[in-house]
Chain A
């Protein structure tokens, strides 16, 4: 059953896809802000916590600095996994309905 552009864009399935896409995106962006500004906030307000040592010289600050980079990368991986498995599937289904 072929549908028009208007029908597709206004279908429940399409609307849900768009809503979900931005929900995932904004949630991950929020986590990214939390990671980065949490770290920056600690540098501003909780310097002593960052000075806590693990081992002879390595401190929490060094670990968290690397952690922000690794954590942000990990958020990106989560997005890709979601998009590859969930988003792309719905997109190809919707594409079939068109025309």
Chain B
């Protein structure tokens, strides 16, 4: 069934690609769909770019297994969108052409800026792509029982066809279809699920509470380190403002007003999505309960991480056809997101590096389109290769890395170039390089990579020792506790003391074992608070030290274009 829906989707999108291919001849058509997309369409496409399979299946599973903490995680993904609207969207549209580097390079020296911005962009897109490819390989393996490598190649080849032949126009329509399917599918699932609770989420929470207790609906282990929580929030919020594949979408609309519309529509769709997903997750935890097993047990029996929760719920609610439909939607989601990333990478390689650096900005239309297509093929192959290379690796940190580099490498330079008259080439290059390099280095030294990836074995050994110890001592404590209720008052005190000393020794031994736990060199899981601050400082310092008269003089022209849109392409 899933295969049938999947084939319908592929045929439909390839049809669109064929139609788009006939309309895609110039560079502006290849990168920016000829600037013919409306605000509403672009809003849907932006939502499509952002709502990945990881956030759909992952967050639903997280809520099903961890309850309220999954919901907290979901809110973080929306808050970047208003910030994108307030700070970046309209100036970006007015100043740029195909990439965000156009904005930074507007009144600065082309070559150094293009090279630096390309480093920031490529790093961001690569990290994001690795996360998507590895995630998709695993998901497709689970959903369709296809070998991991085959899954990678299918995703890579299909999305390459979209981008290569249909350019931005085909990619946009694939995003739109995917966004409509995803939003529709999730809505349908939530409605059927809520019908079991009298269409009242309140009743759903009552059932959750009955099975799992109040804890499931309350904050648990998140936000233990305030600085880490602050830093993660900054990366999520402002990282969005530096994601090349998102920023690129703003050039597909004709003007700043349509850019504004795009964001309000995108924010509405994405906000709605993140409100609905926790309902799907909680419903899965309740409705999948069977016999003696809770819903969580049923979900974990298929996938420990809970990634299949939404699909299991779909099957429970409306049988195999609905599950097939949801699986096909998840697959479409993966394809669309990877296509968007590939186009962003291709535009950086071809437009920023080849045309503006190697060819000094002089390349005719035919050559530019040819180079763009070559870059697309190169990046597509790289994506497939990296997906296979990272098979079985823990890549959970990759999305965090992408957001951290975007927030530190790309966003500060972008904002400063719009706002600050004295921002110079040296400042911009320093800001991008310092931000990207510190973000990458600090993530490698952080607990998420240094401990969870590089010292995963040592960590597992320590955790096993702890659980072995607990398995040994906890039953002793339990049996003593049972005795307490049966014995006389005099003995009770004695046993209670025994319990106490056992518990104390357990904690002491636990501490000793935990001391062997590998330690990260940098304490925060997300470095954005430091790396972004450093990027701003570097941008300011180098602009002061190496000022640029010419750039300051051009600021008037830039302002006219930023605020009035005069001369915008």
- Residues of A at under 8 Å CB distance from B? 5-6, 8-10, 14, 17-18, 21-22, 24-26, 28-29, 32-33, 35-37, 39-41, 43-44, 47, 50-51, 55-59, 61-62, 65-66, 68-70, 72-73, 75-77, 79-80, 83-84, 88, 91, 94-95, 98
Q: Any chain A CB within 8 A of the CB of B85?
A: yes
Chain A residues whose CB sits within 8 angstroms of the CB of B71 once the complex forms: 62, 65
Residue of A nearest to B201 (CB): A58
Chain B residues whose CB sits within 8 angstroms of the CB of A28 once the complex forms: 82, 86
Check if A32 sits within 8 Å of B79, measured CB to CB: yes
Check if B78 sits within 8 Å of A69, measured CB to CB: yes
Check if B237 sits within 8 Å of A36, measured CB to CB: yes
Q: Any chain A CB within 8 A of the CB of B453?
A: no
Residue of B nearest to A94 (CB): B564
Chain B residues whose CB sits within 8 angstroms of the CB of A68 once the complex forms: 75, 78-79
What are the 5 closest A-B residue pairs judged by CB atoms, nearest first?
A57-B205, A44-B223, A25-B86, A57-B209, A57-B206
Residues 166-223 (chain B) with a chain A CB within 8 angstroms: 201-202, 205-206, 208-209, 214, 217-219, 222-223
The answer, among A6, A14, A43, A58, for a CB contact under 8 Å with B219, is: A43
| A58-B202, A75-B82 known, 11 other contacts, Cβ within 8 Å | A9-B556, A9-B559, A14-B563, A26-B86, A51-B218, A56-B206, A57-B206, A57-B209, A69-B275, A73-B268, A80-B264
- Residues of B at under 8 Å CB distance from A? 68, 71-72, 74-76, 78-79, 81-83, 85-87, 90, 201-202, 205-206, 208-209, 214, 217-219, 222-224, 226, 229-230, 233, 237, 257, 260-261, 263-264, 267-268, 271, 274-275, 278, 419, 556-557, 559-560, 563-566
Closest chain A CB from B101 CB (angstroms): 23
Most-contacted residue by chain B among A32, A44, A57, A75 (CB, 10 A): A57
> In the bound complex, what is the Cα–Cα distance between A73 and B560 (angstroms)?
29
Check if A79 sits within 8 Å of B86, measured CB to CB: yes
> In the bound complex, what is the Cα–Cα distance between A40 and B71 (angstroms)?
12
> In the bound complex, what is the Cα–Cα distance between A50 and B67 (angstroms)?
14
A88-B218 in contact given A9-B560, A56-B202, A76-B82 (Cβ < 8 Å): no
Most-contacted residue by chain B among A47, A76, A98 (CB, 10 A): A76
Identify 8 residue pairs between A and B in the complex whose beta-carbon atoms are under 8 Å apart, listed by A's number: A21-B563, A36-B233, A47-B218, A55-B202, A59-B218, A61-B218, A72-B271, A98-B566
A29-B83 in contact given A40-B223, A44-B226 (Cβ < 8 Å): yes
Closest chain B CB from A90 CB (angstroms): 9
Check if B564 sits within 8 Å of A95, measured CB to CB: yes
> In the bound complex, what is the Cα–Cα distance between A7 and B19 (angstroms)?
47
Most-contacted residue by chain B among A6, A18, A41, A79 (CB, 10 A): A79
Check if A43 sits within 8 Å of B222, measured CB to CB: yes
The answer, among A43, A61, A70, A95, for a CB contact under 8 Å with B217, is: A61
Closest chain A CB from B352 CB (angstroms): 27
Check if A95 sits within 8 Å of B566, measured CB to CB: yes
> In the bound complex, what is the Cα–Cα distance between A14 and B563 (angstroms)?
9
Chain B residues whose CB sits within 8 angstroms of the CB of A24 once the complex forms: 86
> In the bound complex, what is the Cα–Cα distance between A79 and B223 (angstroms)?
30
Closest chain A CB from B553 CB (angstroms): 11
> In the bound complex, what is the Cα–Cα distance between A47 and B218 (angstroms)?
8
Check if A18 sits within 8 Å of B563, measured CB to CB: yes
Residue of B nearest to A40 (CB): B229
Closest chain B CB from A13 CB (angstroms): 11
Check if A50 sits within 8 Å of B219, measured CB to CB: yes
Residue of A nearest to B267 (CB): A76
Closest chain B CB from A97 CB (angstroms): 10
The answer, among B218, B223, B267, B559, for a CB contact under 8 Å with A18, is: B559
Residue of B nearest to A32 (CB): B82
Check if A58 sits within 8 Å of B205, measured CB to CB: yes
Most-contacted residue by chain A among B257, B268, B563, B565 (CB, 10 A): B563
> In the bound complex, what is the Cα–Cα distance between A64 and B174 (angstroms)?
34
Chain A residues whose CB sits within 8 angstroms of the CB of B79 once the complex forms: 32, 35-36, 68, 72
> In the bound complex, what is the Cα–Cα distance between A84 and B274 (angstroms)?
27
> In the bound complex, what is the Cα–Cα distance between A76 and B206 (angstroms)?
33
> In the bound complex, what is the Cα–Cα distance between A66 and B90 (angstroms)?
28
> In the bound complex, what is the Cα–Cα distance between A98 and B560 (angstroms)?
10
Check if B556 sits within 8 Å of A5, measured CB to CB: yes
A62-B559 in contact given A57-B208, A79-B85 (Cβ < 8 Å): no
Chain A residues whose CB sits within 8 angstroms of the CB of B274 once the complex forms: 69
